[in-house]
Amino acid sequence: MDLLNHLAPIELPGDPISADYGAKLLSDLGAAVRPLHEHSECHPAQLWRETGLEALTGLPEADATCCPVPLPNCAQGVLLALRALAAAGPLKNPSALIDVDAAMLLTERAHLMGLSRQGQSSPGGSCQLLTCKNGAIALNLPRESDWQLLPAWLEQPVDRHWAAIAEAVSCRCRLQLIEQGRLLGLAVADAHLTPPTDCRWLGSHYQTKPSLPAGNAPRVLDLASLWAGPLCSHLLQGLGADVIKVESTKREDGARNGNADFFDLLNQNKRSVALPLHTSEGHAQLRQLINRCDIVIEGSRPRALRQMGILAEDCLEQKPGLSWISICGYGRDEPQANWIGFGDDAAAAAGLPAIMQQACGQRLMVGDAIADPLTGMHTALAAYASWLSGGGRLLSLSLHSTVAHCISATAPAHGDYRQRFEQWREVLQDCPEPPTSFTTRTARTKAADLGAHTQSVLQESSALC
């Protein structure tokens, strides 16, 4: 992809794994980049421990463990790349971003919520690894409506607890369960897959003529919810972006009903707009906002906006220099575009439980919805790179492909995760004991109430037309 081929060569200092990963991302975006390896006293396994990611992985009655994939280093690599772009761009104000500990972004929600490892269940409890007749699946039921779909999915009444579901699927075919679940709109994924050997993290779907930024901070329209999209716009905000968070008056961001500290952390200082998106008036208002923004972050399946008559391709034609960044569970292409996906099941589908089985003999969930923060960071890099290059692009990332890319880009020689796991365990034996508490970021101010800025933002957009 040729987004950054207009930039001067970039040097990227950091520990070898993080610098190499960040350099690969920038290279994928078209930049000429050279990683500068710096000695690090912190081994990847130690980083797992120090961030608390180790404490979120393993059986609750056993010792914590780590997955032999350097995911915290990948997170560091993404922000190394983003900081390098910020320094090379017209804003030259990455100060707020410098203070962010990239590796801790993977675990800060769990620390704020007091979550812990649950073995084959996600720390948050909504996702479970289930053994089928010929493999394993990951089933995620974060919404009440998901539980209501279970009788139709299993074609029988089922009690509302995981033991009953596990018994019902144990004698059924894995692929049939996945196919039927996806047709019904359940977040169900194949947890039997082997880790990928190669995977792209970014897709390009449409391109118009770019319009190079004038040097002003970009205006970001955040249409996403929950974690990945809001984290992306939060990081862009750290680079000086003006972020407008849009929600439906009929369906607010579900994270508003979750942990308040975490919601405030990701959404502080964003202007909140609530639109009646179930009406033609709301659709027109949304088009008006899109036409006044530089970056759009879309966090739902593409058909959600298409049903409103809003097509990303049309918006790109109408607004020169617009960057449209789409986040999906499993991709924007068919049939994956129709699959429901959340952070835990997408990470399982990417191969993390399969790696744990190879490494320690058991399929285990890894971290807390880890695909979400990883994807949010990668999306911020893609969005900023697109804006920096003049926009005019429809780009896509998925929760699944982001984790799969982290796995494939850092895989051990010959894919031997067992050997790496044993090496990492030896390293941890000589490391300090796991921390008993963790320091997390806190919001400086509360997030705006739903729709607090609707009228002022709409009036501002009308005046600019």
| pLDDT values of the chain reduced to their tens digit, one per residue, 465 residues | 889 998 999 999 999 999 999 999 999 999 999 999 999 889 999 999 999 999 999 999 999 999 999 999 999 999 999 999 988 877 655 556 667 899 999 999 999 999 999 999 999 999 999 999 999 999 999 999 999 999 999 999 999 999 999 999 999 999 999 999 999 999 999 998 777 778 899 999 999 989 876 668 899 999 999 999 999 999 999 998 999 999 999 999 999 999 999 999 999 999 999 999 999 999 999 999 999 999 999 998 888 999 999 999 999 999 999 999 999 999 999 899 999 999 999 999 999 999 999 999 999 999 999 999 999 999 999 999 999 999 999 999 999 999 999 999 999 988 899 999 999 999 999 888 888 888 899 999 999 999 999 999 999 877 665
Whole-number Å distance between alpha carbons of 243 and 234:
8
Identity of the residue numbered 331:
G
pLDDT of residue 434: 85
d(CA 426, CA 422): 6
**The overall pTM is greater than 0.75:** yes
For residue 387, give every residue at least 6 positions away whose Cβ sits within 8 Å of its Cβ, in sequence order, or none. Answer: 213, 218, 294, 295, 323
For residue 47, report the phi and psi dihedrals to the nearest 5 degrees.
-65, -35
If one counts every other C-beta atom within 10 angstroms of the C-beta of residue 251, the result is 10
3-state secondary structure the chain: CCCCCCCCCEEEEECHHHHHHHHHHHHHCCCCEEEEECCCCCCHHHHHHHHCCHHHCCCCCCCCCCCCCCHHHHHHHHHHHHHHHHHHCCCCCCHHHHCCCCHHHHCHHHHHHCCCCECCECCCCCEEEEEECCEEEEEECCCHHHHHCHHHHHCCCCCCCHHHHHHHHCCCCHHHHHHHHHHHCCEEEECCCCCCCCCCCCEEEEECCCCCCCCCCCEEEECCCCCHHHHHHHHHHHCCCEEEEEEECCCCCHHHHCCHHHHHHHHCCCEEEEECCCCHHHHHHHHHHHCCCCEEEECCCHHHHHCCCCCHHHHHHHCCCCEEEEEECCCCCCCHHHCCCCHHHHHHHHCHHHHHHHHHCCCCCCCCCCHHHHHHHHHHHHHHHHHHCCCCEEEEEEHHHHHHHHHHHCCCHHHCHHHHHHHHHHHHHCCCCCCCCCCCCCCCCCCCCCCCCHHHHHHHHHHHC
pLDDT for residue 439: 86
> What domains lie within the chain, and their CATH numbers?
10-117+197-429 (3.40.50.10540), 127-190 (no CATH)
Q: What pLDDT sits at residue 453?
A: 97
Burial of 317 from C-beta contacts in 10 A (0-12 / 13-18 / 19+): middle
Task: Examine residue 335 and say whether the peptide bond preceding it is cis (omega within 30 degrees of 0).
Answer: yes
